[in-house]
Amino acid sequence: AGSGSRFLTAQRADNIIEAIGMLQHLMDSTPRGIYWAYLCARARALNLPRQTPEDLVLIRIACLMRIHPENNCFNQLVTTWNRLGEAEKQTLTDHFLADGIDEVAFVFEFLPDCVNNAMKNPIVTLLGLLEVLEELLQTLQPAVAMNPDLKDAKIINVDLADMSEFIKCVQNHFVF
């Protein structure tokens, strides 16, 4: 008999059960309400603040970092966030709060892998990744606005698989 999954531990199963529980509200809540209720439940489980838009962004990033009570790296995240400039924070806040329903949202595919690899790479770091994401958003927003094929799009997928692999390999500050 096997010993279970390396990824789906009991703690992670609790997160999945919580998410499935949120789906019980499909008929009596909005998609936005269900999503933010789940993130607030995750914040409660991690004892994280959830009052301000910035708190909600940090919760989203904490989920991307796969923070859980045993590895609570939230203080590292807050320290990193506080090193960003106000304009960078605003761009990232707008991005992470966009819902793809009322406003355009970029879905960064493989972003959790990028975060994981950035945290393991002392050259890239989480701060470096957030700065690059902010620059990417600054580039994408006008490009999308000028593309007639995307004028009515609310959700735009951005594949970051290659960036995730690149982050693993970076050995010099000048290339990232």
| pLDDT tens by residue, 93-150 | 999 999 888 889 999 999 999 999 999 999 999 999 999 999 999 999 999 989 999 9
- pTM attached to this predicted model: 0.85
For the chain, the distance separating the N- and C-terminal CA atoms, rounded to the nearest angstrom, is 45
- The Cα-based distances of 60 to 34, 36, 142, 165, 167 in angstroms read 14, 10, 24, 22, 21
